[in-house]
A and B are shown apart, each in its own frame.
Chain A
């Protein structure tokens, strides 16, 4: 008898050893931390990897000028999900370890609604000089909760050499045109065997982006401006059908269902795609002349096509917010002002190819020479639609991915997918 209980005890211990019990932090006691922007002293800046070293340069500059209010960089994992999770955990623990948070613009609503970040004084920032959709993505219920430091928008990359060979002068503006141009190009010897179109269709955040773009590009919405889901519409179906039919007809290669950004970039740089929906970061990489890209100098970018005319991009980008539990909010505010100046936005573009937030940078001729895609990108961002502003964004994006992936892999029809998505989104936004 005693031996049996020893055995059980030991088993339990061993099982426990191999099982990480995940006890979440006790829930927030709520709203005790001040929202007043007071307190000066050393602060931390929390973000993903500072790959280019640009951020450290900003910090060095600031720290030299403010020896009593130094900013330390805390680098979180590369994956956006992991970053979000650590920021939430920090807020749940009401820790003052994080002061300035670099939030992905799709988290703004969630962070603001949960009081993880505080409202910022809009009149102290040059919001009028920024691209309207970009600054808008940092608002929640018309109040400013973060200040953008970079933007991002999707563009249509296309192979100029192949279009030329088929005698096509301008890139497509509608999906129908895109299909026709593909057929013409694939009939030429140069274009034979090159796949037509791809985006990011693996089941992850990128699929949410691509789904939102085709829905918006056909005149549909995922959620209305007030946040009510309205995705079960003929417009949304027309958008989703562009992708579904693309897969069915082979216009989109079967392997594109496994594409994230990088897989797609490889395919494009190996010359296996005529058209591709992709972020600006690919531009300089695909133009590399060190032999890594076989399409260098043979491609250009255009705004995304849509159903009846130019399409709509989803809006990417990051913004800086102040943690509710920060003790030095006054310093944090000053630092955000310093970080988001016009000069720094331009530096960010030059050092890290991050899309700027100020209108004037896009219109600067010197910069346009250096970054030929700036006008297209500006167009893309100006017409961009933010992803749904849902407080429970994490659940919403999973629901979108479930529906979109199900439709693209042929598990369900577009109609079934959208009906299911509408039901799930309603459940997420009404409790």
Chain B
């Protein structure tokens, strides 16, 4: 190294060189990402803004003397939102809000347990692995609406479920049994999704870790608790977050399996849908915006509290020395004459 004499002392030090490179790379990245960002802005940003804007208006439904509905939207500010929280509509909203949350918590909990179990089974090397994997994934491959119809047949008054139970439970009426019908159907359908993501996490755990644990005499349970779970956690958290987001906007399963207007299974999405089909777009948009905010808050809290590595620049729990590049930069800055 000493033999290589830098011919031009005036040249900026290589670190700055690198810095310029990064800057240029950053510029290039920005240029390359612009189309994506624009598309996202159009297909996501605009609908959110349009929906929020719509939620500030109300569609009149009064009839004038000649029997025609008075046309046009009126600007009502936050009235659509206050209406949601008052009177009978308020009760209905809080009931739907509770259902939405209850379904999400119960289904995601059950799905995590089942999903991990499925992943552990799929991760085992044995002969029928391919068949087992495929069969576990089938429920996930079926569209929700189709599986809702499927379960409606199963939960029919004279369906298979009642045959097996030997009683006649009227699953699709209103009440706790309807809630359980939905929970069962949802768990059946989406546990494989968690299983799949956890399986991906499991497959990158090196076998040596387990061998070392065996040598140390760790029991299977201990291995699972101290090795598998911590190492699979990032994948699991992503799966759980996705399921939470899915659960909070649940619509098709209760709507098809049990039907509309059943208080025990009404979710916020269904309320928005019903308002929309009765031409009250403002009120529907208000419900949708509220649900959107709820999902944002839950998702954000989830990321902050559990540190799900979604964004790629993983938060490091233990403050290690910062990454090389950043240190270089500080050094470079410090060295600047």
Contacts and interface: CB of A to CB of B under 8 A. Distances in A.
Report if A and B associate in a common complex: yes
A141 B61 CA distance: 17
Interface in B46-79: 47-48, 50-51, 53-54, 57, 59, 61-63, 67-69, 71-73
B272 interface: yes
Contacts of B59: 27
B297 to A, nearest CB: 9
Interface in B264-322: 272-274, 276-279, 281-282, 284-285, 288-289, 291-292, 295-296, 299-300, 303-304, 310-311, 313
Interface in A80-131: 81, 84-85, 88, 92, 112-115
Given A27-B72, A113-B63, A394-B277, A14 B156 contact: no
Contacts of B292: 15-16, 19, 21
A13 interface: yes
Contacts of B47: 16, 20-21, 23
Contacts of A57: none
A402 interface: yes
B201 interface: no
A392 to B, nearest CB: 6
Interface residues of A, number: 56
Given A14-B245, A21-B288, A402 B261 contact: yes
A114 B281 contact: no
Contact of B51 (A22, A88, A391): A22
Interface in B117-172: 156-158, 168, 170, 172
A285 B73 CA distance: 48
B209 interface: no
Contacts, number: 157
A431 B61 contact: yes
A183 interface: no
Contacts of B73: 26-27
A92 B69 CA distance: 13
Interface string B1-45: 000000000000000000000000000000000000000100011
Interface in A121-155: 140-141
Contacts of B62: 431
Given A11-B296, A203-B174, 14 more contacts: A7-B311, A13-B40, A15-B292, A18-B295, A22-B281, A24-B276, A24-B284, A26-B54, A29-B71, A115-B69, A254-B170, A258-B156, A391-B61, A394-B277
4 pairs of A and B residues whose beta carbons are closest in the complex: A24-B281, A30-B71, A255-B157, A27-B73
Interface of B: 40, 44-45, 47-48, 50-51, 53-54, 57, 59, 61-63, 67-69, 71-73, 156-158, 168, 170, 172-174, 242, 245-246, 249, 259-262, 272-274, 276-279, 281-282, 284-285, 288-289, 291-292, 295-296, 299-300, 303-304, 310-311, 313
Interface of A: 3, 6-8, 10-31, 81, 84-85, 88, 92, 112-115, 140-141, 202-204, 254-255, 257-258, 263, 266, 391-392, 394-395, 398, 401-402, 405, 409, 431
